[in-house]
């Protein structure tokens, strides 16, 4: 039998054409009951998440607009928070500055130290040592923020005075380290406390990332005659770069939104201080926490408006981080 006849006899009768809906469902792999149920569940969860986000955003925006429309000051630039007066005058300038500056201080301190700890744990420490250290770092992450706040207010603040004096002596001329001798309840102390609080999360995520660097990339560097530090520079850090950025963003998210620790340590006012050592200033979360209890409905709406700004800042920061990661995506190692 030659091939053509074999082909002809083997041709099945034309199957009934599937409808559009059937083909779509088949393409998603959801033709059997189990698949269809799972598809429904997972799609439902996705939609639910979007709905909740939309509801929160809608609620915040509605209440914020109520408050801002009655604000007699400029909501973005006013150095005041008087919601109970007639007319109400309030603005977020001080809060935005304080939130951003304390988070920057925290990141500048915490990211290098965290990356160094993570590298030590994955590439230098003997296994006997790295286990216990990692455990202690996990414990740090589990301490409630109010405990950090109490420790900060009772122990860190008095201890900081020595550092403040030293900074004032040598770097006072810069202006930002000028110290008038008040209690150390300032942005720098807050930044240092936040750094300690975000250190565990950045360390842990970075450690996981560094641990996943493929052995073959490290061996490639070793075989070229790289020292241990050069292996880290050539293979480990570039591979872990996007992971470290993500880790830092998790930490930054916590620093931006940290409430109790800041409220306990900072002595707030509504001024922007040029010096990081001057007590005063405030952050969004700290301001909400300290004012919410005694605020009337309008005051609460105003606080919600400030919360909305924090939300926007967090979104912007995350978007920027994603852009940094995406810009070098083809070099990420994901396609190796």
Residues near other proteins (CB under 8 A) are: 214, 216-217, 219-227, 230, 234-235, 238-239, 241, 328, 330-336
Minimum Å gap between C-beta 257 and other proteins is 32
Tokens of 208: 């996981």
CB-CB contact of 62 with 307 (8 Å): no
User: Between residues 32 and 127, which has the closer beta carbon with respect to other proteins?
Assistant: 127
* Nearest CA among 149, 145, 119, 151 for reference residue 134: 119
CB-CB contact of 204 with 141 (8 Å): yes
CA distances from 270 to 76, 96, 221, 328 (A): 13, 11, 54, 41
Minimum Å gap between C-beta 221 and other proteins is 8
CB-CB contact of 182 with 278 (8 Å): yes
Quickly tell me which residue has 């480990």 as its tokens.
236
Minimum Å gap between C-beta 287 and other proteins is 42
Distance CA(3)–CA(53), nearest Å, equals 62
SS3 90: strand
Minimum Å gap between C-beta 243 and other proteins is 12
Helix (H) or strand (E) holding 225: none
The residues, ordered by sequence, that sit 6+ positions from 198 with a Cβ below 8 Å of its Cβ are 106, 107, 110, 251, 252, 254, 255
Distance CA(194)–CA(188), nearest Å, equals 10
CB-CB contact of 255 with 103 (8 Å): yes
Minimum Å gap between C-beta 209 and other proteins is 13
CB-CB contact of 276 with 177 (8 Å): yes
Alpha-helical runs (H) found in 172-296: 187-211, 215-223, 228-231, 237-257, 260-265, 284-292
Minimum Å gap between C-beta 153 and other proteins is 44
Burial label for 317, CB within 10 Å (0-12, 13-18, 19+), is middle
Minimum Å gap between C-beta 128 and other proteins is 13
Minimum Å gap between C-beta 229 and other proteins is 11
User: Between residues 142 and 223, which has the closer beta carbon with respect to other proteins?
Assistant: 223
Minimum Å gap between C-beta 224 and other proteins is 4
User: Between residues 241 and 300, which has the closer beta carbon with respect to other proteins?
Assistant: 241
């Amino acid at each position: 039998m030659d091939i053509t006849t074999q082909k002809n006899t083997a041709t099945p009768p034309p199957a009934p054409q599937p409808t559009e809906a059937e083909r779509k469902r088949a393409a998603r792999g959801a033709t059997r009951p189990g698949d269809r149920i799972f598809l429904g569940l997972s799609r439902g969860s996705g939609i639910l998440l979007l709905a909740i986000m939309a509801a929160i955003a809608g609620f915040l925006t509605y209440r914020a607009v109520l408050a801002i429309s009655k604000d007699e000051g400029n909501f973005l630039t006013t150095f005041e928070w008087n919601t109970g007066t007639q007319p109400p005058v309030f603005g977020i300038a001080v809060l935005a500055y304080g939130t951003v500056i304390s988070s920057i201080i925290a990141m500048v301190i915490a990211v290098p130290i965290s990356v160094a700890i993570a590298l030590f744990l994955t590439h230098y420490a003997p296994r006997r040592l790295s286990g216990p250290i990692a455990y202690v770092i996990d414990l740090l992450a589990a301490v409630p923020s109010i405990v950090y706040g109490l420790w900060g207010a009772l122990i860190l603040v008095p201890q900081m005075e020595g550092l403040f004096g030293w900074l004032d002596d040598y770097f006072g001329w810069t202006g930002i380290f000028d110290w008038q001798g008040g209690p150390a309840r300032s942005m720098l102390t807050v930044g240092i406390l936040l750094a300690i609080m975000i250190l565990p999360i950045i360390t842990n995520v970075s450690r996981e990332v560094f641990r996943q660097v493929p052995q073959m990339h490290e061996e490639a560097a070793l075989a070229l005659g790289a020292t241990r530090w050069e292996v880290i520079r050539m293979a480990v850090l570039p591979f872990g770069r996007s992971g470290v950025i993500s880790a830092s963003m998790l930490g930054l998210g916590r620093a931006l939104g940290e409430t109790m620790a800041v409220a306990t340590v900072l002595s707030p006012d509504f001024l922007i201080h040029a010096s990081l050592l001057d007590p005063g200033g405030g952050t969004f979360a700290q301001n909400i926490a300290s004012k919410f209890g005694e605020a009337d409905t309008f005051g609460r709406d105003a606080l919600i408006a400030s919360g909305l700004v924090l939300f926007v800042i967090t979104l912007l920061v995350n978007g920027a981080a994603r852009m940094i990661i995406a810009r070098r995506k083809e070099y990420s190692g994901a396609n190796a």
